Amino acid sequence: MTIALYLLTATLALLTLLPLHPARVWWVRVWDFPRLQLALLLATLLLAQVWWLDFSRWHAWLAVATTALCALYQVWWILPYTPLWRHEVRWADAHEQGPRLRIMAANVLTPNRNAEAVVALVRQHRPDVLVTLETDAWWEQQLQPLRQHYPHHVACPQDNLYGMHLYARLPLDEVQVQYLVEPDVPSIHASLLLRPAQSAQPEVRVRMHFLHPAPPSPTENDESTERDVELLMVAKSLRGESGPVVVAGDLNDVAWSPTTRLFRKISGLLDARVGRGMINSFHARYWFARWPLDHIFHSDHFELVRVQRLPSIGSDHFPIMIELQYHPANSGQQEGLQANARDHRQASQTLAEQGANAADVPEPQARGH
């Protein structure tokens, strides 16, 4: 038993330290994901060490110290996504009259045939904007009934797991479908007209980007480079944007990863899950292996009404939904992650290495009041 505990200590310590390496290969970056699971394993191991090890030997103390430090390090990454952390986005005041925006993101899983569940969920929650991911021509046909209530839509059906469809109750303008990094991985960019709560108020235009970059994995890309570049292109294009912004989709990255944190720092966008919960959206079939892969980030023009994970639709992802209230008076008062000079250098270097340019990202109009 003692030898097994030492071997397990060494293994979990290695898996904890491995993501510190800047390598983008999938077998390194994959360990950014299960930090909660590793923290729980380390805590369990710590209890076993206290029970089984002989503390008259120095290496028993070393094993316990190593395990405790690794557990604390893993918790440090995920702690912001627990109720123990300060809210990054304020709760909306029920007495305020600002316009609201409800967004649903659903990765349907292309071979999934439970389209009725998706349609039923949309009809139940009535989002203003619905983005579906992994939708091919079959899915486009099955979701056709939604067009009756969603007159504004963008179709990009593909059979490679990267199809994307956008449905909106509210008017869309400056719509573009772009392939920012890979020739078969689309993204949708648009300006959405958010109706004011009172007719006397001026119109609000929300700049929106919908993304689904390919992940680093043995069946997709060997490295995270393509994913990282797409996220940073969009982030840098948003730098200095003064109007309201929303970025949504399956980013194939967890909320606490260095890349997603860098995206938030450079873009200045906020994450409503901070201080509230992880909202784990993947994997829907395995409760013990779940993490937040689907995201809806927004600018500080909005406050939070609600954010939630929705019931299973037969996919490997749960849909997620957020409802925001436009409250520009808070602009500049809600603070997310801050970028320093090193962050900007890292983002610029990552793009330069791949010959990518943030200027290639469409910039739909954003206008507040």
For tokens 């369990």, the residue is 44
Q: What is the CATH number of domain 100-360?
A: 3.60.10.10
Question: What's the whole-number mean pLDDT along residues 37-52?
Answer: 96
* pLDDT value at residue 54: 83
In angstroms, how far is CA 306 from the centroid of its own chain?
Answer: 16
pLDDT for res 56: 86
Residue 364 neighbours by CB under 8 Å, 6+ apart = 173, 174, 175, 176, 189, 190, 191, 205, 207, 208
Given a cut of 70, whether residue 197 has pLDDT beyond it is no
Q: What is the mean pLDDT of residues 238-260?
A: 97
- Give burial (CB, 10 Å; 0-12/13-18/19+) of 126: exposed
Segment 242-253 mean pLDDT: 98
Q: What is the pTM of this model?
A: 0.96
Q: What is the pLDDT of residue 199?
A: 61
> What is the 3-class SS of the chain, one letter each residue?
CHHHHHHHHHHHHHHHHHHHCCCCEHHHHHHHCCHHHHHHHHHHHHHHHHHHCCCCCHHHHHHHHHHHHHHHHHHHHHHHHCCCCCCCCCECCCCCCCCEEEEEEEECCCCCCCHHHHHHHHHHHCCCEEEEECCCHHHHHHCHHHHHCCCEEEEECCCCCCCEEEEECCCEEEEEEECCCCCCCCEEEEEEEECCCCCCCCCEEEEEEEECCCCECCCCECECHHHHHHHHHHHHHHCCCCCCEEEEEECCCCCCCHHHHHHHHHHCCECCCCCCCCCCCECCCCCCCCECCEEEEECCCEEEEEEEECCCCCCCECCEEEEEEECHHHCCCCCCCCCCHHHHHHHHHHHHHCCCCHHHCCCCCCECC
Per-residue model confidence as pLDDT tens digits over 115-154:
999 999 999 999 999 999 999 999 999 999 999 999 999 9
130 strand-pairing partners:
104, 167
Are residues 216 and 19 in contact, defined by beta-carbon separation less than 8 angstroms? no
Whether 82 shows a pLDDT value over 80: the answer reads yes
Residue 343 is predicted with a pLDDT of 98
Q: How far is CA 208 from the centre of its chain?
A: 15
With a cut of 70, say whether residue 198 has pLDDT above it. Answer: no
10-30 pLDDT, tens digit per residue, is: 999 999 999 999 999 999 999
Check whether 268 has a pLDDT greater than 70: yes
Per-residue pLDDT at 328: 85
So what's the pLDDT on residue 339? 97
Phi-psi region of 328 (alpha: psi -120 to 50; beta: other; left: phi over 0): alpha
Cis (ω within 30 of 0) for the bond into 59? no
pLDDT bin (cut points 50, 70, 90) of residue 369 is low
Query: In this model, does residue 1 exceed pLDDT 80?
Result: no
The lowest-confidence range among 225-234, 266-275, 325-334 is 325-334
CA distance 48 to 64: 10
